[in-house]
Amino acid sequence: MYTRILGFAAVAVCLAMPASAAIALGDAAGSYAISPANSSIRFSIGKVGGGGLDGAFGRFKGSIRIDNSDVARSQVNFTIFPESVGTGQGRIDAFLRSDAVFDAADSPEIQFRSTSVTRTSDTTALVSGRLTARGKTFPEKFTAELGGLKAGTIKFHVTGQVLRSRYGMDVGTPIYSNIVDFDMTLTGKRG
Amino acid sequence: MHASITNSTTRYGWGAIILHWLIALIFIGQFGLGFIMVRLTSQRTAFELIQLHKSLGFLLLGLVILRIAWRFGNAAPALPRSVGTLERRAAPLAHLALYAFQLALPLSGWALVSVSMLEIPSLPFNLFLMPNLPLAESDAAENFWASAHWYLAYAGMALVVLHVAAALRHHFQLRDGVLTRMITPSSEDSAE
């Protein structure tokens, strides 16, 4: 019985949370430019037999806008330059840049434009948007977790999975998975 | 007439004949595929052809092992009496060398993918994961096995050309049954 009362108390605290979080988000409201120096966009593609292909994009840009009255109207946009892909193995990088995968010469940008942001907890949100790569656009979802907020700097940890076959990049399946796991740290500086 | 699956003293059975031509087709096809796949501008097509080359290489290795086991249980038929002493001594050596190349080519290819820093798994015909040979990965090892595979391929093809020339000589110049007995078991050995 005692634990049940504690449980009720915990629920009550959680219910009270949005009000305080809203104040925190009110502080966060504003426009931020993604700072590449303090951000990273990493990806991993599993392969048969275990392990995988890990890499990162060295060059990207973007912005985060947090709406102080309606979080759902917040926006995240970013552009990745696939020419900057790096896996630690030059031959693989050249393969990824070629028309076998990114075709970086003809499609120099990969773009994400958010269409809606849904709060899923005090510190997490589901960001839905449209991802465009190699001339193909599909809806994708990413999970964003607030990692820190101080002095005009906001940090998010963003994860999500993208099916590469949709974008004409299915080379190597099924040796390499069709699923690309993204793991990004996006640090925005208030602009 | 009994089922001619196995060899007799004068002719090859279907077992040896089918293995011979299947391996011949894959062996020569692999040379052409290997030659083309490293000269393509499309990296995607190159990747896919290299995976096909690996799949066929593992199939070849399996067939060659089966063929060698079959050969141990089935002595090759004797050469026609008309065959001269020099050729009688050279032919078994040439055949032994052909077997050595049939084994060395897929094995050196397997070594090459095993030591490559690219660490691309081998999934023959997308059916199962073929493990790597227990060899250390390095760029130097990859270069070594790539060269070895290349030299073995050209030397092996030179031997195939010699083998084909010898077979054609038997058929058109010597007019014996050495070529035809590798086509069907019912062909009579004209020299017998």
CB contact under 8 A, A100 and B43: yes
Computed on alpha carbons and rounded to an integer, the radius of gyration of chain A in Å comes to 19
CATH code of residue A20: 2.40.128.110
Supply the range of the domain harboring residue A26: 2-190
Q: Do A175 and B120 touch (CB under 8 A)?
A: yes
B44 touches chain A (CB under 8 A): yes
Distance linking the first and last C-alpha atoms of chain A: 52
Where do the domains of chain B lie, and which CATH numbers do they carry? 14-182 (1.20.950)
Q: Tell whether A90 lies on the interface with B, counting CB pairs under 8 A.
A: no
Contacts of A99 in chain B (CB under 8 A): 42-44
What number of other Cβ atoms are within 10 A of residue B151's Cβ? Answer: 11
Return the pLDDT at B150: 98
* Tens of pLDDT, residues B22-81: 999 999 999 999 999 999 999 999 999 999 999 999 999 999 999 999 999 999 999 999
Write the ipTM.
0.88
Residues 6+ apart with CB under 8 A from A6: none
Residues of B in contact with A172 (CB under 8 A): 47
pLDDT in tens, chain A (191 residues): 444 444 444 444 334 344 444 445 557 889 999 999 999 999 999 999 999 999 999 999 999 999 877 888 899 999 999 999 999 999 999 999 999 999 999 999 999 999 999 999 888 999 999 999 999 999 999 999 999 888 889 999 999 999 999 999 999 999 999 999 999 999 999 97
Q: Are strands A52-57 and A85-86 parallel, antiparallel or unpaired?
A: antiparallel
Q: Give the global pTM.
A: 0.88
The tokens for B5 are 């699956």
3-state secondary structure of A114: strand
Nearest to A49 by CA among B48, B118, B113, B122: B122
Residues of chain B positioned with their CB less than 8 A from the CB of A47: 121
Q: Residue B74 half-sphere exposure, CB side, CA atoms within 13 Å?
A: 21
Give the pair of three-digit tokens for residue B34.
């290997």
Instruction: Give dist(CA A11, CA A72) in Å, integer.
Output: 24
Whether residues B121 and A172 touch (CB distance < 8 A) is answered with no
Are A82 and A102 in contact by the 8 Å Cβ rule? The answer is yes
10 Å CB burial of residue A89 (0-12, 13-18, 19+) is: middle
pLDDT of residue A148: 87
Instruction: Report DSSP state, residue A165.
Output: G
Q: Which of B43, B51, B117 sits opposite A89 (nearest CB)?
A: B117
Q: What is the number of structural domains in chain A?
A: 1
∠ Cα A50 A56 A58 (to 5°): 165
From CA A20, how far away is CA B170, in angstroms rounded?
95
Which residues on A lie below 8 Å from B48 (Cβ)? 171
Q: Nearest by CB to A89, which of B48, B118, B123?
A: B118
pLDDT of residue A72: 83
Backbone angles phi, psi at B154, to 5 degrees: -70, -40
Q: Which two tokens stand for residue B141?
A: 């090892």
